[in-house]
Structure 1
Amino acid sequence: MASQRGGMKRILLVQTGFLGDVVLSTPVIAAVHQRHPGCELWMLVTPQAKGLLGADPLVAG
């Protein structure tokens, strides 16, 4: 990953697995947010998993 000094503003995390895979990947969201606090985090997930992340305050979309 590029450093924050490099101007990275948005990060896209891709998880197109099953619902359980999305649940197990949620610690990654927190870790990326902690490492890059000024970045906007986006998740690409299946339509079925969208509801799982809709309430996560760390995910912009």
Structure 2
Amino acid sequence: MPLTKPNQQLRRDMKEAASLLKWSGVDLLQAAQRLSDSGHEAEAVELIKISVSFEEAEFAI
């Protein structure tokens, strides 16, 4: 049974949201690495926590 038009749009929107979360997490990990390299370990850890929460949210979608 094919999806209705509204459900198709919702599915596309959810996939887009998941993709944005994934790439945002990647960007945050890169920023965390730069912070860590410059001696800002506490800030790096916070960004890593946020990135992990994005990953968890991505898989929940």
Judging by fraction of residues, say which structure has more strand.
Answer: 1
Judging by fraction of residues, say which structure has more helix.
Answer: 2
**Rg (Cα) greater in structure:** 2
Q: With structure 2 as the length reference, what TM-score do the two structures score?
A: 0.35
